[in-house]
Structure formats: structure tokens, C-alpha cells
Structure 1
Amino acid sequence: MAAAARTRPYDVIIFGATGFTGQFVVEEVARCAAEGPSGSLKWAVAGRSRQRLEEMLKQAAGRLSMPELRTDIEIIVADVSIEESLAIMCQQGLVILNCVGPYRFYGEPVVKACIANGAHYLDICGEPQFLERMQLEYHTKALDKGVYVIGSCGFDWTLTAVDSFLTLSSGPEGLCGHDATWKSAVYGFADSGSLRQLRKKFGNKPLPVLGTKVKSRGFMFFSKEIEQYAIPFMGSDPSVVRRTQRFLYEEEQQSPVQYSAYVGVGGIFSVVKLFCGGLLFWFMAKFSLGRKLLTTFPSFFSFGLFSKSGPTMKQIEDTCFNMTFYGEGYSEGADPNEGRPNTKICTQVLGTEPGYVATVSALVQAAITLLNELHCLPRRGGVYTPGAAFYKTSLIDRLHNHSIKFSVRNYQ
């Protein structure tokens, strides 16, 4: 970003920089800043404790062999419970990267502060209740202020139906996620009823279905596509895609796509373990005492998939993801109202560890895209999904040049 265009001291401020994910974001921003012309990206870190922020920068400087991080990077003390501190932080940055979760508890004050003080907001939230509520309550306010609020910036022929399958591979130490992600899942599942009520407030009419309506595959099935058992993906992907589809249909008159998201769970032993663990999770998440136990002992109740310490660096280095999209539709000139789809296409997205490498890279590249291509974003502000906000930008190309690779092919 050209220095002449800079209107605030910092282009990017990382809020929650000492958190588990925040530390990875700091390192990614530092690398991107070093790759560009000197002084092209000005950034700072923010959080509750100056001492912890100083220690984090010291560790990052050592890991990246960038001693200048200890002295050149500004520290801003800000706390979600202190409105004035958030205002001061937001007044100093063009873009705030919010890494403080779970967002249902800590996200809204940051969104409000960004809108009130004219700073754009990005996060890596995977909580549909928070994402959709922010759109319902803050879209008009953000639009009036010329501020973009874009959540879930972690990882869209005429297609009529798309199924996505996420699979993960790891090394001998296995997979592991951080406690904050587990907490989001626990409270999100417990509060699923409020999400249905929230969606009614939008008053949206159902999107039209182009071609044949696709039947649901059920809760668990053996997928020939990935050659393992699969279940519906419980994350925010369906919610984010649905909101993107509505934007593209209403604003760009693009035909909606029927979308279903699944995740591979492995063989029959994994299915049995998942079934037993899922029943226990379902029962305990319904009660406050059960939620307390689930969040206090994440490693025990998740069979080691989540822990308070998060994954080791070895686990992160050995983990990668493969998300494959299988779509079907109609070739040019074919009538979707007559006959079955006659075109099939497969898009594959490959990347490094999804939670703390690929997601972090996507967040940082989204911020850089926003800074450099603001004129390509819709309208002049508002609350959007990444697909709605960045579909006319170079974000896909930026991601392809970093930790995420895209490929497209036809399939039978």
C-alpha cells in the first residue's frame, strides 16, 4: 500500500496477538511485510497485557530471525471489556484482524468499535450464530459508515449442485485443535435453537432451485468420492456459502447453487468412536454442568482431538487438508428445466494445516486484498461473507501463491 494513501498510523492491527492463533497471525503478517517494499505495510499488535505482547514479539523475532520485531512493532493495550481502549485501537488502524474468541462472547464489542471508529474488521470466526447476527444487526450501520465487516476469513458452466468433502491427514502424533475451537463448538451446539430464530428475523424468501432438487445424503454414509465414511460438516461453511449465494443472487443475478458440506471421518472404527463421542457430547452440551465439564476437560471428552495447549509444532507441520468440491450442472445452451444435468466438474483445494497455517494465511491475504483493492469490494461498506466481499478481487490468486492451491477438472 502506498504511503501517500495511508490515513492512519497502521494499515493492520492484530487484536488478540498473544492468543494461540494470534501468534501465528503475527508471524504471517511479519513475513508479508518483509516481502514487500520497505515501509509498504505498517502494522501493530494489540491485547490486554503489554508484557505478554512484548514476550510474544520477542519469541516471534527469534523464530523468524527478525530482531527488528522487538523494537519496531508498536504495542497497543486494548481489552474487550473496556470500550475506550477498543476505540483508541480502532482509531489507529485501517484494518483490525480480530483473533479473540469465542466470538459469541468477545466479538461484538470489537465489531461495534470498528464501525464507530471507521476501521474495517476481519476475523476467522466459525460460529454461524455470531456471523449471521452481526449481519442482521450491523450491516446497515457498517454501510452508513463505509466500513467493511467480513467474518470467517479462514478457508464459490452453470452449477446447480455442489458437494464438498473435507479430509485431513496427519503425522504419527495425530490431529489436535485448540481449546478455543472446542469451546465455540460446545456453545454453538447448545445454542442451535437461537440460530433458527435469528434466521427468521431476516425474512428472506427461499432461494430458487435451478434444475433437479438434490436429495440429502443423510447423517452418515460411505462416500465413494473420498472412499471413507462421511458426515455433514458442522462448521460455518454451509451458513457462509448460503449467505454468499443470497448476495450473488440478489446483487449480481447469479443462479444459486445447492450446497452440502461433508467431512471424512475414516473407517468403521472411527465411526463407532464418533458415534459414542457424539452421543456423549449431544447429551452434555444440553446442560450447564455438562458444558462446564466439556470445556474444562476438552482433551478427555474429545478423545484428544482438542486440548488447552493446542497442537504441537510437529503436529502442525505434519497436518494438511484436502477439500474437494463435486459439482454438476448444465452446459451452455442446455435448459435446466428439461432433463438431468449434463456437466460435472471437480475443484480441489489443497493446503497446509487448516486451523493455524492455511486459515492464518487466508486472513492476512484478505486484509492485504482489502487494503489494495478496496474499490473492488461491493457498495461502500457493510457486513459480508468473504465470497461476497472478495469475489471481484485477486484474493484467490494471492492464496494460490501462498499456502493454498486450487485445481479444476471435469469428472465422470
Structure 2
Amino acid sequence: MEAVTTSRPYHIVIFGASGFTGKFVVEEVARYAADSTGDNCLTWAVAGRSRQRLKGVLKQAADRLGMPELSTDIDIIVADVSSEESLAIMCQQALVILNCVGPYRFYGEPVVAACVENGAHYIDICGEPQFLERMQLEYHTKAMERGVYVIGSCGFDSIPADLGILYTQSHFKGTLTAVESFLTISSGPEGSCGHDATWQSAVHGFADSSALRKLRRKFGHKPLPLVGTKVRPRGFVFFSKEIVQYAIPFMGSDPSVVKRTQRFLYQEERRSPIQYFAYVGVGGLCSVAKLFCGGLLFWILVKFGMGRKLLTTIEDTCFNITFFGEGYSEGTEPLQGPPNAKICTEVMGAEPGYVATVIAMVQAAVTVLKERHSLPRRGGVYTPGSAFNKTNLIDRLHNHGFKFSVRKYEEPAKP
């Protein structure tokens, strides 16, 4: 762990700690800090608009975890996205800011700007491609100059998908050229309410998709080279023999994040880029019928502000992501016909919104603190895969409830 300087009393500050997700992040940081001792001791604080609400969050965490010291020993910082000065003061006290204040398209940029300006690394759990890509466009150069890492989408969106691709590639013996992922879902715990980044991403993204297309044109990116057989996207609704149920395209940030990671790895490390398509299992024919009815309602609701508020109260889901990859086995040139090897991997975890997401966010922060030497360059705006591809984050996640595994590997029979 980096030594704390006199001007940086905290390794981590949780901004938005009194929010719905922030409360769970507080508990996860408290658990991790309780297990850290000696040189690895983690110092942390909470931040937000209301001192009273933050006191209440610490009291609640103290009662739930059986750690009475949280109510008295953890410092509180009053900060508001509408006050640049308060954000600056907060960022000047931390090595890493965990930003839990969303939707990020409305409240995220002031925090990113304050972190970059005041030298604090930044991590969020955003699932909104427009925000994530705009932060890269506008802050990457300055973040590099300042030596600050800005790493978005470090929750359910999109660590399982982005690191799942890297895990699949690392276990493929040869050149991996394409991956399709299937997210299978189940109901979340009773009483949970939907504040997770996936729904926020889908709701607000659908409402303003044209702005994202305009933003992407500003990057001026050339298409990544195609290696292997071109994989076509599947239909809007189709029966997947891979997961034996009907599926639809995934509407979250995973495809955007993975593509940005693949571009980074191609440009910076000359890795062969991987084609990627993401889908969600929806069940049988009855579920498909419900999907069409619900889809029409969704399309109508996202066009109106009140409708968007209604959509963001839908229940959370649990997840299991299966990756089906293809490519060329060792010793086979990609120009020698179609791919001849396949791999199937899996990433499993706990409830995504308030268990897996907060674990991923906290372990991403710990990785920044402990493995800065393995992060790219001196700073910048990155995806999880770009930032953490040379770190031990997958192992850290594996030790905290995530499961990365290879289900099947097929390669051509030896003559």
C-alpha cells in the first residue's frame, strides 16, 4: 500500500456514501479495512452533502457489521457536486475517490474534473457509455499530465464482461478472434429496488442515443482490423442453442467498454483485437411475449422524464455470464481458413447491484493503491480492462466471491 502523505490522510474516500449504493460500499470498505493491518492498514472516510445522513450511514454500518468503532473513528467530509470548492477539498485528502453519485451523466463530470485537478485517482460504477466515452475524450490527456487514473464502469457494468474477455483470452492457446457473451438473469433479493447502473444506462442511453453517435465521431477512430471470420450480430430476439433459451442483445455498457479496451490493447500492446457481441437470456416463448409488450412500454417511457423515473424502480437481477470464443490454435496462421479452436468460459458472482458491484469497486480501488506500477503509463482515462490487464485484479475478485472458470476448450485433433 502506498504511504499516506501529510496532505493525503486517506487512502479512500467514498463520495455519495449516504446514497443507496454508497451505503453498501461503506460496509464493504469497512470489512476490507478491518482485515488490513500494519503497513497494509487502510485509512478511509465518507463524503456527501449531509453530515447527519453520513453519521446515520456509519451508525447503520456499525450496527450491521458489529463494528461500533465506525460511528466514532471514521471521518466525515461534507462535499457537494454543486460546490467546486468542496469537491477540491475532498479530493485533496484522498489517494482514491470512489464516486457513488449517479446518474453520472448528470452528476459525474464535476467529480472527475476535481479529481484530475487535485491529484486524486477516480473510480466509479457507471454504466452509461455516453458519460464514459466523453470523459475519455475530454480528460484523458490532462489526467495523463497530472498522473491521475480515471477508471469508470468498475461495477457489474462492466468488470465481469471486460475482465471476462481478458480471462478468456489468457486461457486460449493461440489467437482468440471473437467472443459472444450471454448474461443469464434471475430475480434479486426480496425488497431490493433498482438503482443499478444497468437500468440507468439503458434508460438514459435509449433516450439520448443520437448524442452518443455524434460523440464517437469526434474521436476519429479508424476501424479495428478484422482477424478471422467476421461475426455478425444476431437478431433482436433469437433462440440461443448455447444457453438453450431465447436471448436479446445486451443494452448496457459492456459492448462499449470492451471495444474501448480492445482498441487500447491493439494500439498500445499490439494485441490482436477481438470481435465482441453481448446478449441476455430472457427465457422461453412466454418470456419473449412479455418482452415484446414490455419493450413497447419501455420505448414509450424512455421518451418522457416521468417514464424514466418509473423505469429506474425495477427490481435488480443476479448474474452469470458465459463467454463463447473462437480463434486459431497455436501454430495456425489466421489467414489459413476459418477459426479452428473454441473456448467456453464463465464469470459468476453474487447479486450484481449491491454485492458484486461494490466488491468489484472496492477491489479496483485496492488494485490502484497496491499495483500502480502495473497500471498503464502515468495516468489517464481508462476502462477496467485497459487499466487492470497487467494486475492481479482477477485474483482479488476470485478471492472475494467472483468465480472465473474455463468450462470447455476445443482445439483441432493432432494428426
Common fold by TM > 0.5: yes
CA deviations over 1:165-191 (Å, ceiling 9, x no partner) = 011234784985227764443222111
Q: Is the 2:125–2:197 Cα contact (8 Å) retained in structure 1?
A: no
Alignment of 1:24-39 (within 5 A): 24-37=24-37
Match of 2:12 in 1: 12
- Kindly tell me the number of residue pairs found equivalent between the two proteins: 393
Q: 1:217 to 1:126 in 2, by over 3 A?
A: same
1:342 matched to 2:369: no
RMSD: 1.9
Q: Is the 2:193–2:314 Cα contact (8 Å) retained in structure 1?
A: yes
- Aligned to 1:364, the other structure's residue is in SS state helix
Shift in Å, 1:198: 0.5
Match of 1:187 in 2: 204
1:305 matched to 2:314: yes
Match of 1:315 in 2: none
Q: TM-score, normalised by structure 2?
A: 0.91
Q: Is the 2:198–2:253 Cα contact (8 Å) retained in structure 1?
A: no
- Aligned to 1:177, the other structure's residue is in SS state coil
Structure 2: how far apart are the matches of 1:110 and 1:153?
16
- AA of the residue aligned to 1:29: V
Q: Is the 1:24–1:356 Cα contact (8 Å) retained in structure 2?
A: yes
Shift in Å, 1:216: 1.7
- AA of the residue aligned to 2:122: Y
Match of 2:135 in 1: 134
Q: Is the 1:2–1:40 Cα contact (8 Å) retained in structure 2?
A: no
Q: 1:180 to 1:368 in 2, by over 3 A?
A: closer
Q: 1:95 to 1:217 in 2, by over 3 A?
A: same
Shift in Å, 1:3: 4.1
Q: 1:6 to 1:368 in 2, by over 3 A?
A: farther
Match of 1:333 in 2: 331
Match of 2:362 in 1: 364
- Aligned to 1:185, the other structure's residue is in SS state helix
CA deviations over 1:187-225 (Å, ceiling 9, x no partner) = 221110011110000000000010110122111101111
Shift in Å, 1:226: 1.0
Structure 2: how far apart are the matches of 1:6 and 1:376?
25
Question: Of 137, 145, 164, which aligns to 2:181?
Answer: 164
Alignment of 1:86-235 (within 5 A): 86-154=87-155, 155=159, 156=166, 157-170=174-187, 173=190, 177-178=194-195, 182-235=199-252
Structure 1: how far apart are the matches of 2:65 and 2:202?
33
1:273 matched to 2:286: no
- Aligned to 1:17, the other structure's residue is in SS state coil
Match of 2:300 in 1: 283
Q: Is the 2:7–2:93 Cα contact (8 Å) retained in structure 1?
A: no
Q: TM-score, normalised by structure 1?
A: 0.91
Shift in Å, 1:284: 3.3
1:257 matched to 2:255: no
Structure 2: how far apart are the matches of 1:3 and 1:197?
43
Structure 1: how far apart are the matches of 2:189 and 2:41?
41
- AA of the residue aligned to 1:177: G
Structure 2: how far apart are the matches of 1:74 and 1:219?
50
Unaligned runs of 5+ in 2: 160-165, 167-173, 411-415
1:382 matched to 2:347: no
Shift in Å, 1:359: 1.1
Match of 2:400 in 1: 402
Structure 2: how far apart are the matches of 1:21 and 1:172?
15
Shift in Å, 1:356: 1.1
Shift in Å, 1:2: 5.3
Structure 2: how far apart are the matches of 1:90 and 1:344?
46
Match of 1:82 in 2: 83
Q: Is the 1:322–1:351 Cα contact (8 Å) retained in structure 2?
A: yes
Match of 1:22 in 2: 22
Shift in Å, 1:129: 0.1
Q: 1:171 to 1:115 in 2, by over 3 A?
A: closer
- AA of the residue aligned to 1:188: G
CA deviations over 1:72-109 (Å, ceiling 9, x no partner) = 00000000001100000000000000000000000000
Structure 1: how far apart are the matches of 2:232 and 2:309?
39
Amino-acid identity (%): 74
Match of 1:314 in 2: none
Match of 1:316 in 2: none
- Aligned to 2:325, the other structure's residue is in SS state strand
Match of 1:57 in 2: 58
Structure 2: how far apart are the matches of 1:172 and 1:381?
38
Q: 1:2 to 1:204 in 2, by over 3 A?
A: closer
Match of 1:238 in 2: 255
- AA of the residue aligned to 1:211: G
Q: 1:166 to 1:117 in 2, by over 3 A?
A: same
Q: Is the 1:146–1:382 Cα contact (8 Å) retained in structure 2?
A: yes
CA deviations over 1:367-405 (Å, ceiling 9, x no partner) = 001001101100000000010000001101000000211
Q: 1:356 to 1:73 in 2, by over 3 A?
A: same
Q: Is the 1:186–1:294 Cα contact (8 Å) retained in structure 2?
A: no
- AA of the residue aligned to 1:341: P
- AA of the residue aligned to 1:295: R
Match of 2:308 in 1: 295
- AA of the residue aligned to 1:210: V
Q: Is the 1:182–1:295 Cα contact (8 Å) retained in structure 2?
A: no
Shift in Å, 1:5: 6.6
- Aligned to 1:265, the other structure's residue is in SS state strand
Structure 1: how far apart are the matches of 2:409 and 2:365?
35
Structure 1: how far apart are the matches of 2:20 and 2:186?
21
Structure 2: how far apart are the matches of 1:376 and 1:17?
29
Structure 1: how far apart are the matches of 2:258 and 2:197?
23
Q: 1:380 to 1:235 in 2, by over 3 A?
A: same
- AA of the residue aligned to 2:8: R
Structure 2: how far apart are the matches of 1:172 and 1:394?
30
Structure 2: how far apart are the matches of 1:43 and 1:278?
43
Shift in Å, 1:292: 2.1
